[in-house]
Amino acid sequence: MAAALVRLLLLLALAADGPALTDAAKMKVVEEPNTFGLNNPFLPQTSRLQPKRDPSPVSGPAHLFRLSGKCFSLVESTYKYEFCPFHNVTQHEQTFRWNAYSGILGIWHEWEIANNTFSGMWMRDGDSCHSRSRQSKVELTCGKSNRLAHVSEPSTCVYALTFETPLVCHPHSLLVYPALPTALQQRWDQVEQDLADELITSQGHEKLLRALFQDAGYLKAPEESESAQEGGAQGQVFETLESCSKAHKELSKEIKRLQSVLTQHGIPYTKPAETSSSEHLGSKVPTDRTAEQLPGNPGLLGNTL
Protein backbone atom coordinates (compact mmCIF):
# COMPACT_ATOMS: atom_id res chain seq x y z
CA MET A 1 0.00 0.00 0.00
CA ALA A 2 2.83 2.41 0.85
CA ALA A 3 4.60 1.63 -2.43
CA ALA A 4 1.44 2.44 -4.38
CA LEU A 5 1.10 5.80 -2.63
CA VAL A 6 4.73 6.65 -3.45
CA ARG A 7 4.18 5.91 -7.15
CA LEU A 8 1.00 8.05 -7.18
CA LEU A 9 2.77 11.02 -5.55
CA LEU A 10 5.67 10.70 -8.01
CA LEU A 11 3.31 10.79 -11.01
CA LEU A 12 1.47 13.85 -9.64
CA ALA A 13 4.76 15.65 -9.13
CA LEU A 14 5.90 14.91 -12.67
CA ALA A 15 2.60 16.12 -14.11
CA ALA A 16 2.88 19.37 -12.17
CA ASP A 17 6.42 20.04 -13.50
CA GLY A 18 5.26 20.26 -17.09
CA PRO A 19 5.49 18.33 -20.34
CA ALA A 20 9.29 18.38 -20.50
CA LEU A 21 9.66 16.17 -17.46
CA THR A 22 6.77 14.05 -18.65
CA ASP A 23 8.65 13.36 -21.90
CA ALA A 24 11.80 12.63 -19.91
CA ALA A 25 9.91 10.11 -17.82
CA LYS A 26 8.92 8.32 -21.01
CA MET A 27 12.53 8.07 -22.29
CA LYS A 28 14.03 4.60 -22.41
CA VAL A 29 17.64 3.50 -22.24
CA VAL A 30 18.43 1.86 -25.60
CA GLU A 31 20.84 -1.04 -25.32
CA GLU A 32 23.91 -0.89 -27.57
CA PRO A 33 23.40 -3.30 -30.47
CA ASN A 34 25.49 -6.44 -30.26
CA THR A 35 26.32 -6.61 -33.95
CA PHE A 36 29.67 -5.34 -35.12
CA GLY A 37 29.55 -5.98 -38.86
CA LEU A 38 32.08 -8.50 -40.10
CA ASN A 39 33.64 -8.79 -36.65
CA ASN A 40 30.47 -9.61 -34.75
CA PRO A 41 31.77 -11.90 -31.98
CA PHE A 42 28.34 -13.50 -31.63
CA LEU A 43 28.49 -14.81 -35.20
CA PRO A 44 30.51 -17.87 -36.26
CA GLN A 45 33.94 -16.79 -37.50
CA THR A 46 33.26 -18.21 -40.96
CA SER A 47 30.19 -15.97 -41.29
CA ARG A 48 32.30 -12.85 -40.94
CA LEU A 49 34.57 -13.59 -43.90
CA GLN A 50 33.97 -12.09 -47.32
CA PRO A 51 36.08 -13.89 -49.96
CA LYS A 52 36.92 -12.05 -53.17
CA ARG A 53 36.41 -15.14 -55.32
CA ASP A 54 35.77 -18.87 -55.26
CA PRO A 55 38.66 -21.30 -54.73
CA SER A 56 40.27 -22.98 -57.71
CA PRO A 57 39.21 -26.58 -58.44
CA VAL A 58 40.85 -29.34 -56.44
CA SER A 59 43.96 -30.57 -58.27
CA GLY A 60 47.25 -32.34 -57.75
CA PRO A 61 47.97 -35.82 -56.35
CA ALA A 62 44.72 -37.76 -55.98
CA HIS A 63 45.62 -39.08 -52.53
CA LEU A 64 45.55 -35.50 -51.19
CA PHE A 65 41.96 -34.95 -52.29
CA ARG A 66 40.76 -36.49 -49.03
CA LEU A 67 41.96 -33.33 -47.27
CA SER A 68 39.40 -31.25 -49.17
CA GLY A 69 36.51 -30.17 -46.97
CA LYS A 70 38.58 -30.38 -43.77
CA CYS A 71 40.20 -27.59 -41.77
CA PHE A 72 43.16 -27.58 -39.39
CA SER A 73 43.88 -24.85 -36.86
CA LEU A 74 46.81 -23.55 -34.86
CA VAL A 75 46.77 -20.95 -32.09
CA GLU A 76 49.86 -18.78 -31.79
CA SER A 77 49.93 -15.86 -29.39
CA THR A 78 46.53 -14.15 -29.67
CA TYR A 79 45.74 -15.45 -33.16
CA LYS A 80 44.07 -18.58 -34.41
CA TYR A 81 45.09 -19.68 -37.91
CA GLU A 82 42.99 -22.08 -39.91
CA PHE A 83 44.10 -23.94 -43.02
CA CYS A 84 41.43 -25.56 -45.17
CA PRO A 85 43.23 -27.43 -47.99
CA PHE A 86 41.99 -26.50 -51.47
CA HIS A 87 39.83 -23.77 -49.91
CA ASN A 88 41.53 -20.98 -47.92
CA VAL A 89 43.69 -19.80 -45.02
CA THR A 90 42.12 -17.57 -42.36
CA GLN A 91 43.26 -15.69 -39.27
CA HIS A 92 41.15 -14.90 -36.20
CA GLU A 93 42.17 -12.69 -33.32
CA GLN A 94 41.44 -14.39 -30.00
CA THR A 95 40.51 -11.36 -27.88
CA PHE A 96 37.37 -9.77 -26.45
CA ARG A 97 37.89 -6.50 -28.31
CA TRP A 98 34.76 -5.32 -30.08
CA ASN A 99 36.66 -5.12 -33.39
CA ALA A 100 38.73 -8.30 -33.12
CA TYR A 101 40.20 -9.11 -36.52
CA SER A 102 39.03 -12.03 -38.61
CA GLY A 103 40.23 -12.22 -42.17
CA ILE A 104 41.31 -14.30 -45.14
CA LEU A 105 45.02 -14.77 -45.71
CA GLY A 106 44.55 -16.40 -49.10
CA ILE A 107 42.20 -18.44 -51.27
CA TRP A 108 43.31 -21.66 -52.96
CA HIS A 109 44.93 -20.67 -56.26
CA GLU A 110 47.61 -23.00 -57.64
CA TRP A 111 50.50 -25.32 -56.93
CA GLU A 112 54.14 -24.36 -56.91
CA ILE A 113 56.12 -26.87 -58.97
CA ALA A 114 59.89 -27.32 -58.87
CA ASN A 115 61.98 -30.22 -60.17
CA ASN A 116 58.94 -32.31 -61.14
CA THR A 117 57.59 -31.96 -57.60
CA PHE A 118 54.63 -30.23 -56.00
CA SER A 119 56.61 -28.02 -53.63
CA GLY A 120 53.83 -25.89 -52.15
CA MET A 121 50.23 -24.69 -52.27
CA TRP A 122 49.64 -21.02 -53.05
CA MET A 123 46.67 -19.27 -51.48
CA ARG A 124 46.19 -15.83 -53.07
CA ASP A 125 43.64 -13.00 -53.27
CA GLY A 126 43.17 -12.71 -49.51
CA ASP A 127 41.99 -9.61 -47.69
CA SER A 128 43.41 -6.29 -48.83
CA CYS A 129 46.67 -5.26 -47.22
CA HIS A 130 47.70 -1.74 -48.17
CA SER A 131 47.91 -1.79 -51.98
CA ARG A 132 47.84 -5.55 -52.47
CA SER A 133 46.13 -8.72 -51.28
CA ARG A 134 47.33 -11.07 -48.58
CA GLN A 135 48.71 -14.40 -49.77
CA SER A 136 50.03 -17.57 -48.19
CA LYS A 137 52.27 -20.43 -49.25
CA VAL A 138 51.65 -23.79 -47.59
CA GLU A 139 54.48 -26.32 -47.49
CA LEU A 140 53.50 -29.96 -47.10
CA THR A 141 55.86 -32.07 -44.99
CA CYS A 142 55.83 -35.60 -43.62
CA GLY A 143 54.24 -36.03 -40.20
CA LYS A 144 52.52 -38.63 -38.04
CA SER A 145 49.16 -36.86 -38.25
CA ASN A 146 47.42 -34.13 -40.18
CA ARG A 147 48.15 -30.86 -38.40
CA LEU A 148 49.04 -27.25 -39.02
CA ALA A 149 52.49 -27.09 -37.47
CA HIS A 150 53.76 -23.56 -38.01
CA VAL A 151 52.74 -20.12 -39.29
CA SER A 152 54.98 -17.11 -39.91
CA GLU A 153 54.95 -13.86 -41.87
CA PRO A 154 58.34 -13.62 -43.62
CA SER A 155 57.31 -10.42 -45.38
CA THR A 156 54.44 -7.99 -45.02
CA CYS A 157 51.13 -9.57 -46.05
CA VAL A 158 52.85 -12.80 -47.18
CA TYR A 159 52.48 -15.80 -44.88
CA ALA A 160 54.30 -19.13 -44.72
CA LEU A 161 52.55 -22.20 -43.32
CA THR A 162 53.86 -25.68 -42.64
CA PHE A 163 51.33 -28.51 -42.79
CA GLU A 164 52.32 -31.98 -41.64
CA THR A 165 50.59 -35.06 -43.02
CA PRO A 166 51.41 -38.76 -43.44
CA LEU A 167 50.05 -38.49 -46.98
CA VAL A 168 53.37 -37.05 -48.24
CA CYS A 169 55.80 -39.33 -46.44
CA HIS A 170 56.37 -41.57 -49.46
CA PRO A 171 59.29 -40.23 -51.55
CA HIS A 172 57.11 -40.23 -54.69
CA SER A 173 53.97 -38.80 -53.09
CA LEU A 174 54.48 -35.28 -54.48
CA LEU A 175 55.85 -36.10 -57.93
CA VAL A 176 54.01 -34.35 -60.73
CA TYR A 177 54.39 -36.88 -63.56
CA PRO A 178 52.45 -39.75 -61.91
CA ALA A 179 49.58 -37.37 -61.09
CA LEU A 180 49.05 -36.45 -64.74
CA PRO A 181 46.50 -38.19 -66.98
CA THR A 182 47.95 -40.48 -69.63
CA ALA A 183 47.55 -37.99 -72.47
CA LEU A 184 49.55 -35.32 -70.66
CA GLN A 185 52.21 -37.86 -69.66
CA GLN A 186 52.69 -38.70 -73.34
CA ARG A 187 52.87 -35.01 -74.15
CA TRP A 188 55.56 -34.57 -71.51
CA ASP A 189 57.48 -37.52 -72.96
CA GLN A 190 57.48 -35.80 -76.36
CA VAL A 191 58.73 -32.53 -74.85
CA GLU A 192 61.63 -34.36 -73.22
CA GLN A 193 62.43 -36.12 -76.49
CA ASP A 194 62.43 -32.82 -78.37
CA LEU A 195 64.84 -31.38 -75.83
CA ALA A 196 67.14 -34.40 -76.16
CA ASP A 197 67.06 -34.05 -79.97
CA GLU A 198 67.90 -30.35 -79.63
CA LEU A 199 64.68 -29.35 -81.38
CA ILE A 200 63.85 -26.96 -78.55
CA THR A 201 65.96 -24.92 -76.18
CA SER A 202 65.95 -25.17 -72.39
CA GLN A 203 63.79 -22.03 -72.28
CA GLY A 204 61.37 -23.56 -74.75
CA HIS A 205 61.33 -26.76 -72.69
CA GLU A 206 60.43 -24.80 -69.57
CA LYS A 207 57.71 -22.87 -71.37
CA LEU A 208 56.13 -26.02 -72.81
CA LEU A 209 56.11 -27.73 -69.42
CA ARG A 210 54.43 -24.72 -67.84
CA ALA A 211 51.74 -24.81 -70.52
CA LEU A 212 51.30 -28.53 -69.80
CA PHE A 213 50.91 -27.89 -66.06
CA GLN A 214 48.37 -25.17 -66.82
CA ASP A 215 46.34 -27.57 -68.96
CA ALA A 216 46.44 -30.05 -66.09
CA GLY A 217 45.02 -27.39 -63.75
CA TYR A 218 48.08 -27.28 -61.52
CA LEU A 219 49.16 -23.75 -62.49
CA LYS A 220 47.24 -20.65 -63.48
CA ALA A 221 48.07 -18.63 -66.59
CA PRO A 222 49.87 -15.41 -65.63
CA GLU A 223 48.09 -12.11 -66.16
CA GLU A 224 48.78 -10.44 -69.50
CA SER A 225 50.41 -7.49 -67.79
CA GLU A 226 52.75 -9.78 -65.85
CA SER A 227 53.61 -11.69 -69.02
CA ALA A 228 54.43 -8.47 -70.84
CA GLN A 229 56.60 -7.27 -67.96
CA GLU A 230 58.48 -10.57 -67.77
CA GLY A 231 58.93 -10.63 -71.53
CA GLY A 232 60.36 -7.12 -71.49
CA ALA A 233 62.79 -8.00 -68.72
CA GLN A 234 63.97 -11.30 -70.19
CA GLY A 235 64.01 -10.35 -73.87
CA GLN A 236 63.05 -12.58 -76.77
CA VAL A 237 63.21 -16.33 -76.21
CA PHE A 238 63.56 -18.82 -79.06
CA GLU A 239 61.90 -22.19 -78.68
CA THR A 240 63.58 -23.90 -81.65
CA LEU A 241 66.96 -23.89 -83.34
CA GLU A 242 65.36 -22.89 -86.64
CA SER A 243 63.71 -19.76 -85.22
CA CYS A 244 66.95 -18.75 -83.51
CA SER A 245 68.99 -19.19 -86.69
CA LYS A 246 66.46 -17.24 -88.76
CA ALA A 247 66.40 -14.32 -86.32
CA HIS A 248 70.21 -14.23 -86.20
CA LYS A 249 70.46 -14.05 -90.01
CA GLU A 250 67.90 -11.25 -90.17
CA LEU A 251 69.74 -9.29 -87.48
CA SER A 252 73.10 -9.73 -89.24
CA LYS A 253 71.57 -8.60 -92.53
CA GLU A 254 70.12 -5.47 -90.88
CA ILE A 255 73.47 -4.62 -89.28
CA LYS A 256 75.25 -4.86 -92.64
CA ARG A 257 72.59 -2.68 -94.29
CA LEU A 258 73.00 0.03 -91.66
CA GLN A 259 76.78 -0.12 -91.98
CA SER A 260 76.44 0.31 -95.77
CA VAL A 261 74.23 3.39 -95.31
CA LEU A 262 76.76 4.96 -92.97
CA THR A 263 79.59 4.24 -95.42
CA GLN A 264 77.70 5.78 -98.37
CA HIS A 265 77.22 9.02 -96.45
CA GLY A 266 80.79 9.08 -95.24
CA ILE A 267 79.79 8.74 -91.61
CA PRO A 268 82.51 7.04 -89.59
CA TYR A 269 81.48 4.33 -87.16
CA THR A 270 83.17 1.87 -84.86
CA LYS A 271 82.19 -1.75 -84.73
CA PRO A 272 81.29 -2.74 -81.18
CA ALA A 273 82.75 -5.92 -79.79
CA GLU A 274 79.32 -7.54 -79.83
CA THR A 275 78.99 -6.90 -83.59
CA SER A 276 82.23 -8.57 -84.58
CA SER A 277 81.49 -11.41 -82.22
CA SER A 278 78.00 -11.81 -83.68
CA GLU A 279 79.38 -11.89 -87.23
CA HIS A 280 81.92 -14.46 -86.16
CA LEU A 281 79.20 -16.61 -84.66
CA GLY A 282 76.99 -16.08 -87.69
CA SER A 283 79.14 -18.36 -89.85
CA LYS A 284 78.83 -21.07 -87.23
CA VAL A 285 75.09 -21.04 -86.70
CA PRO A 286 74.00 -24.55 -87.72
CA THR A 287 71.51 -24.94 -90.55
CA ASP A 288 68.47 -27.17 -90.38
CA ARG A 289 70.39 -29.98 -92.14
CA THR A 290 73.28 -29.95 -89.69
CA ALA A 291 71.33 -29.23 -86.49
CA GLU A 292 71.06 -32.86 -85.51
CA GLN A 293 74.78 -33.48 -86.04
CA LEU A 294 76.03 -30.72 -83.77
CA PRO A 295 75.89 -30.63 -79.95
CA GLY A 296 73.31 -28.14 -78.74
CA ASN A 297 73.92 -25.05 -76.69
CA PRO A 298 70.50 -24.09 -75.23
CA GLY A 299 72.06 -21.30 -73.16
CA LEU A 300 73.32 -19.56 -76.31
CA LEU A 301 70.09 -20.10 -78.24
CA GLY A 302 67.98 -18.68 -75.44
CA ASN A 303 69.88 -15.39 -75.27
CA THR A 304 68.56 -12.23 -76.82
CA LEU A 305 70.12 -11.65 -80.23
Per-residue pLDDT reduced to its tens digit, 15-53: 555 554 444 444 333 333 333 333 444 445 445 678 889
Lowest-confidence pick of 126-135, 159-168, 239-248: 239-248
User: What span, in angstroms and rounded, lies between the C-alpha atoms of 181 and 185?
Assistant: 6
CATH of the domain at 150: 2.70.130.10
Residues 70 and 55 in one domain: yes
**In the chain, how many domains are there?**
2
Instruction: Let me know whether 99 and 145 are in one domain.
Output: yes
Q: What is the pLDDT of residue 251?
A: 85
Q: Give pLDDT tens digits for 247-305.
A: 888 888 888 888 887 787 777 877 655 444 444 444 444 444 333 333 444 443 334 33
Regarding whether 203 and 170 lie in a shared domain, the answer is no
Using CA atoms, how far apart are residues 149 and 119, in angstroms rounded to an integer? 17
70 and 105 together in one domain: yes
Q: What is the pTM of this model?
A: 0.59
81/118 same-domain check: yes
Same domain (yes/no): 89, 207:
no
pLDDT in tens, 135-175: 999 999 999 999 999 999 999 999 999 999 999 999 999 99
With 0-12 / 13-18 / 19 or more C-beta atoms within 10 angstroms meaning exposed / middle / buried, residue 172 is exposed
Our CA angle for 64, 110, 74, nearest 5°, is 60
Q: Are residues 109 and 202 in the same domain?
A: no
CB 60 within 8 A of CB 123: no
Residue 162 lies in a domain: yes
Domain that holds residue 200: 180-221
Do 127 and 197 have their domain in common?
no
In the prediction, which pLDDT does 106 show?
96
Residues 144, 185 within the same domain: no
- Whether residue 121 is found in the same domain as residue 186: no
